[in-house]
Amino acid sequence: METFEFSIVASGLDRTAEDFESRFYDGGCDDATVSFQKGHIILDFAREAPTLEQAIESAMAHVRAAGATINRVEPDPLVSLTEIAQRSGMTKAAISLYAADKRGSGFPAPAFRVTSSMPLWEWSAVTKWMVQNGKMLASDLLQAETIRSVNVRLQREIA
């Protein structure tokens, strides 16, 4: 078994309730650190499972058993150039050159623009490009695609 690290962002429980943290612990989230940030419950997991998908699915079942609503799984699938550099272990300058097609070609286009100067990329698309160009491992792509798939499914459930 491997240990996978990820976070679940949830809502729906009163953080001031006396049993707030114990609900998660008793519900099977004893391998998570529970916090409350910016109006959301954040559960940072280090969960053992055969695959990342199985780790996430079992954690989501335990979060739901505690009575919380799952909003998304992180790390966030949308990333800035700075976040791409951090996740890939490369410099921001190198990533900027790739994004501008000044080093290599075919780097994915931004998926969204928060402002004209703040584009965001889909992490799974960036990881795919990085793997194809020998900059990251195939296991990194599998993780990115798994988290993206889970979040797409969660959005469908909410809609």
Instruction: State the Cα–Cα distance between residues 59 and 20, nearest whole angstrom.
Output: 17
Strands (E) in 23-110, as ranges, are 32-37, 40-49, 69-74, 78-79
Is residue 23, in this structure, part of any structural domain at all? yes
Predicted pLDDT at 62: 97
Is residue 130, in this structure, part of any structural domain at all? yes
Instruction: State the Cα–Cα distance between residues 21 and 15, nearest whole angstrom.
Output: 8
65 and 12 share one domain: yes
8 sits in which H/E element: strand 2-11
Predicted pLDDT at 118: 84
Is residue 48, in this structure, part of any structural domain at all? yes
Q: Which residues, given as ranges, of the chain have pLDDT below 50?
A: none
Strands 78-79 and 69-74: unpaired
Is residue 157, in this structure, part of any structural domain at all? no
Is residue 140, in this structure, part of any structural domain at all? yes
Structural domain total, the chain:
2
Is residue 134, in this structure, part of any structural domain at all? yes
Q: Which tens digits make up the pLDDT trace of 93-133?
A: 999 999 998 988 899 999 888 766 789 999 999 999 999 99
Among 10, 41, 74, which residue terminates a domain?
A: 74
Cα 96 to Cα 9, 85, 119, 129: the distances in Å are: 30, 9, 12, 14
Predicted pLDDT at 80: 92
Q: What's the pTM? A: 0.82
Among 55, 74, 93, which residue terminates a domain?
A: 74
Predicted pLDDT at 104: 82
* Those residues with Cβ within 8 angstroms of residue 140's Cβ, 6 or more apart along the chain or in another chain: 127, 130, 131
118 and 130 share one domain: yes
Query: Domain residues for 44?
Result: 2-74
